[in-house]
Amino acid sequence: MDTPAPRFTLDPASQAQFRAPTLQQPANLQAMFRSGKVVIGANLSYPSRHVAKTIAVTGADWCWIDAEHVAWSQADLVECIQVIIHESGGRMIPVVRVPSKTSFDYMAWCLDAGAGGIIVPHLETVAEMKEVIAACRFPPVGHRSFPPFTFLPGVTDTAPEGDNIFTIANKHVAIVPQIETRLGIQNLEEIVKLEEVTAFMIGTGDLRLEMNLSPGMDGEEPEFVQAMDKAKKVSKQLDVPLLGVALGPELIRKRVEQGFKILMVCMDMHTLAYGVMRTLGEVRGVVEEQMQKLTM
């Protein structure tokens, strides 16, 4: 009997294994990100419940909600986190890129709403990382505050024996620093070495801007290549997965080759714009072809 080929991406049928005891608690994003599989994410940038409902049923492993470059209202952000969770039946895990590394209020709101993790932009030092960890972990690890408005005893606090909603959150919630400056690259190993760091991301766009390189997500300039090589080395040595944005087959292949295990591969804005443009182009071609036939 032939041995089935190994599967390198997460089987959609197995997404449910990362669900929390209730949908009001965060799914186990730490376990998903550390599963050894390449996990595939989609992006939600439109502050829209309707778009969130559509993204939620697509089968992506996780959803990147961008609150750094989009001016979400707090109410819409919280509601869309919950839409992703409930419309997907807990299978798709929402992850929020918060506005800044000091947006501790957003971190609390997103995690209280049930987000499985946060991405923290412009992380540069161990001290900054420790502040984020303290804000996102309940005692005794950190000082995250008790969430009174999501805690309903006997309803939302289901937990296995020996656990409670606080220990589960500390085990499940992923904390992902986004490194995108020369100083961040310099301190990379010490930041990623911290026990509560689940994964890390290289913000290639901002890093290239700081290096005075041409805008884009990738390049072959020596300083940039050296930074990416360091990220790959640190990820492998410390066994902490790399997260990256990879749009299009060519960059996806390169990131997989570089050892990235967590990929965000499609953006709602790009999908809408390029999808409509492609359809319009196809329709114009069909109309022109048909009209030519009719006029011959």
pLDDT, average across residues 207-212: 96
Name residues whose C-beta falls within 8 Å of residue 158's C-beta, 6 or more positions apart in sequence: 21, 22
pLDDT band at 156, cuts 50/70/90? confident
Q: Is the pLDDT of residue 14 over 70?
A: yes
Q: Among residues 16, 17, 9, 4, which one has the least CA distance to residue 36?
A: 9
| Residue 215 C-alpha from the chain's centroid | 22
| CATH dotted code for 12-295 | 3.20.20.60
Amino acid 7: pLDDT: 84
Query: Which carries the bigger pLDDT value, residue 7 or residue 229?
Result: 229
How large a percentage of the chain has pLDDT more than 70?
99
Token readout for 215 is 């805008």
Amino acid 137: pLDDT: 98
pLDDT, average across residues 153-172: 92
Q: What is the dihedral of CA 274, 280, 281, 282, to 10 degrees?
A: 110
Amino acid 2: pLDDT: 64
Q: Is the pLDDT of residue 11 over 90?
A: no
**pLDDT tens digits for range 125-151:** 999 999 999 999 999 999 999 988 888
pLDDT band at 13, cuts 50/70/90? confident
Q: Among residues 194, 57, 173, which one has the least CA distance to residue 116?
A: 173
Q: What's the CA gap between 45 and 244, in Å, rounded?
A: 16
Amino acid 148: pLDDT: 85
**Which of these ranges, 5-9, 253-257, 285-289, has the smallest mean pLDDT?**
5-9
How large a percentage of the chain has pLDDT more than 90?
88
Task: Give the type of residue at 232.
Answer: K
Q: Is the pLDDT of residue 86 over 90?
A: yes
Name residues whose C-beta falls within 8 Å of residue 238's C-beta, 6 or more positions apart in sequence: 189, 192, 193
Q: Is the pLDDT of residue 9 over 60?
A: yes
